[in-house]
Amino acid sequence: MLMLREQKQRFQELYGKGQIDGVIAKDLGVSGHQVRAHRTALGLPSVLDKFRWSTEQVETLSGLIGDGKTAAEIAKAMDLPATRVRAKAAQKGWSITVDADRKPYSAIEDEVLRNSLTSGVTIGELSQRLGRSRGSIRSRLEKLRDAAKVPDVVADSKLPPSPKPLTPAQVRLRDRLEARFDQGLIAALFGLRFKRGLSGELSELAERHGLTIRQVQLLWHQVRAA
């Protein structure tokens, strides 16, 4: 059965948008075989073939990730959408550098990471909350873990106490706050909830997250009171 003119026009539109044969067939109300036959007659490759990674591309991607390039930089170098770069890296289990990775870790971030050593927080959760790549988080955790074992580098007395598990009420508060504020900010406040004399840390948090010190103090009091 031949496709009608309207169906052919619709095919061109959907194919141009990157839709696969099955989706096009469903939209046109025809079989997948008809769509493939029409595409082949036009000399068009499968959308899946168009977006399939070659061995050379994968090797190039691996090298650029190893050089510490961000997804945007890799996408520009390879003339590919950044979304495809991130998707392929995730498929391979590779960690791509993000812009935040190039900034030194702050005392607040280190505090959150030290607390995570005994709290059971996953690398993925830390990556999401701090806005850094998994590779960067993992590397920093290793350094902090090693430093904690060397008295003349980081004294035991300077390490934060092991955090207690959050209560159901604290979890609900954390979720509400993370829906309104940056997750890294809320994670830092919960990670520091056992410390005293935090004026310097709270000021740093306010500056890093574009808030007033008063706003951060109010959030801090909510966390402490939970």
Per-residue pLDDT of the chain (226 residues; tens, 9 = 90+): 568 889 999 999 988 877 778 888 989 999 888 999 998 999 888 876 666 788 888 899 988 988 888 888 898 898 887 878 887 887 787 878 777 777 888 888 888 888 877 776 777 778 778 888 877 888 888 888 776 543 333 333 333 444 456 777 887 888 788 777 777 777 777 776 555 556 667 777 777 777 787 888 888 788 877 6
Identity of the residue numbered 185? L
CATH number of 101-158: 1.10.10
Q: What is the pLDDT of residue 224?
A: 78
Q: For the chain, which residues make up each domain, given as ranges?
A: 5-50, 55-96, 101-158, 168-225
Q: What pTM was computed for the model?
A: 0.40
Distance CA 204, CA 198 (A): 10
Measured from the Cβ of residue 158, the count of other Cβ atoms closer than 10 Å reads 9
Count of positions (residues) in the chain = 226
Tell me whether residue 106 is exposed, middle or buried, using C-beta atoms within 10 angstroms of its C-beta: 0 to 12, 13 to 18, 19 or more.
middle
